[in-house]
Amino acid sequence: MMESEVGRLADATVRLPVRLAETAVLLALAMSYTWADMMAALCQAAGRAVDDRARLQARTVRLVGRGMPSPRRAVA
């Protein structure tokens, strides 16, 4: 009886660090996916900002070509 209890406790002693290591790996993986997702969102936002700026510049060029005053000249 005592030997089986000692064996059970020894097994539990071995399994606990393995579970902790598995949990640590899963946490690190989740953190890396979260970081990658955040970086992708930032890159997409930067790309949209660049596209918006290019569209605004193209619109301004078209309007100036049609005879509208440039926004910079209108303010000054």
For residue range 2-28, list pLDDT tens digits in order. 778 888 888 888 899 999 999 999 999
pLDDT value at residue 66: 85
Contact present, 46 and 36 (Cβ < 8 Å) = no
> What's the rounded Cα separation, in Å, for the pair 48 and 53?
9
What's the pTM value of the predicted model, to 2 decimals?
Answer: 0.58
pLDDT in tens, 35-47: 999 999 999 999 9
Say what the pLDDT of residue 68 is. 78
Task: Output the pLDDT for position 72.
Answer: 67
What is the domain partition of the chain in residue ranges? 2-75
